[in-house]
Amino acid sequence: EGVGAIAKIIVHFEQEAVVPSATTAPTQPPAATSSALAIVGKVGTEQSWSLDQLRGMDVVTLKVTHPKKGEQEVTGVRMNALLDLAAPAADATTLVITADDGFTAEVALADVRACADCLIAFNESNGLKSVMPGMESSFWVKGVVKLEIK
């Protein structure tokens, strides 16, 4: 027997088999597939990196104190090393940290530049987080995908 009035056929593939076309909306935001972190805004050169590229940089492991969670060990790339690659404009004053859920935190760029141990750290769920020792907990952002210089 045939089936009449078919409205939609859904075919599920393994993630690796999906090849988006120009007419297919991506199943994830581009930041999650093409790059793990981007630095944009008032910079000499906008930057973006995959997790593998970040892991291939000068990675450090530090013991830091979270304002609410206490001492913890984190591994990541120093935020200032990443900012140096982007070359913030001389008149830039603010760093906006954006998470994958849309949350943003604005911190004075001078405070970040003065923080030798501020990191973009690898989290447990194969993503990134900001580690901001000496700063309030709202600057410790989970799921970081973008740093914007203003």
Kind and range of the H or E element at 31? helix 30-33
Structure tokens belonging to residue 74: 């984190």
Q: How many angstroms separate the most distant Cα atoms in the chain? A: 73
pLDDT for 10 beyond 90: no
**Percentage of residues in the chain having pLDDT higher than 90:** 75
Beta bridge partners of 47: 39
pLDDT score at 22: 46
Record the tokens describing residue 138, joined without a space.
């709202």
**Residues in contact with 145: Cβ distance below 8 Å, sequence separation at least 6, in sequence order:** 29, 31, 32, 36, 37, 38, 98, 99, 100, 128
pLDDT band, very low/low/confident/very high, at 28 (cuts 50, 70, 90):
very low
Q: Note the pLDDT of residue 116.
A: 97
pTM of this structure: 0.77
Radius of gyration of the chain (CA): 19
How far apart, in whole angstroms, are the C-alpha atoms of residue 132 and residue 129? 10
For residue range 30-49, list pLDDT tens digits in order: 344 468 999 999 999 999 99
Quick one: pLDDT at residue 21?
A: 45
Q: Give residue-wise pLDDT tens across range 107-149.
A: 999 999 999 999 999 998 889 999 999 999 999 999 999 999 9
CA distance 8 to 78: 49
Question: What order do you get walking across the sheet with 144-149 strand by strand?
Answer: 47-49, 37-41, 144-149, 94-99, 104-108
As a whole number, mean pLDDT of residues 84-105 equals 97
Average pLDDT, the chain: 85
